[in-house]
Amino acid sequence: MRAFSANLGFLWTELPLPDAIRAAADAGFRAVECHWPYETPPDAVARALAETGLPMLSLNTRPGAAGDFGLAALKGREDEARAAIDDAIAYARATGTRSVHVMAGKAGDDATFRANLTHACEAAPDLTILIEALNPHDVQGYHLGTQEKAAQTCAALGFPNLKLMVDCYHIGRTEGDVLTTYQRHRALIGHVQLAAVPDRGPPDHGTVDYAALLPKLDWPGPFGAEYRPNGPTDASLSWLPALSRC
């Protein structure tokens, strides 16, 4: 059976985070991940994870002010960026979360981003540090706009715990062939996500046929379901049993 992780940044958002974790377990997800859990005490999250037996795969660094979409590449804001990284690492350790996604922000520069990623990788050798390329339709001007640029960043720094978070949705929106892109960067991948292309709905429709694609991806861990349900999350899950068996 193929495993999936519920991204609680989009799923069951009407529930407090611990209850969303429980809902994901009840629905048959094998893991969870989140965006910004910081308003929930980490001990409450840790209890829900222990109760359900689900691992938390990843969480994001704080996004900064409205419109920033992250801080790590923004020159002159290094203190904010590193505080956000340190907060994320502390929260991840308190909850047993495996990875921290360091959000780059819009524009910025490579030197600042790489210096802040170095801080993250050296501060948390016990965690995976993730970076993600976001498509320009969703986040115009994001510092990492292509998988190639994200891969070049990982390769330039060379930290073994620095990996790519590859979202099939973002690839499908602007870069085309998901399988070829995945295979080209396979050695650097630390997490894989999915959603329908182009509407970011449940992964049961659109231009990417996940029933055909997933068996070709040699990903051993859960795939992150980071999609926007059109209505209640529970009503959007008809895809889960089918893709679990493909």
* Residue 78 annotated as catalytic: no
The single residue of 78, 122, 148, 226 carrying the catalytic annotation is 226
- Position 214 scores a pLDDT of 98
Buried b (16+ CB within 10 A) or exposed e, 37-48: bbebebebbbeb
Q: What is the pLDDT of residues 24-62, one digit of tens each?
A: 999 999 999 999 999 999 999 999 999 999 999 999 999
Give me the residue spans of the domains in the chain: 4-245
223-225 and 4-7: which strand pairing? Answer: parallel
- Position 161 scores a pLDDT of 98
Q: What is the pLDDT of residues 64-93, one digit of tens each?
A: 998 999 999 999 999 999 999 999 999 999
Tell me the whole-structure pTM to 2 decimals: 0.97
* Residue 226 annotated as catalytic: yes
- Position 176 scores a pLDDT of 83
The single residue of 33, 39, 122, 132 carrying the catalytic annotation is 132
For 4-245, CATH number out of 3.30.365.10, 3.30.70.100, 3.30.360.10, 3.20.20.150 equals 3.20.20.150
The low-confidence residues of the chain, meaning pLDDT below 70, are none
Report the C-alpha gap between 64 and 36 in whole angstroms. 11
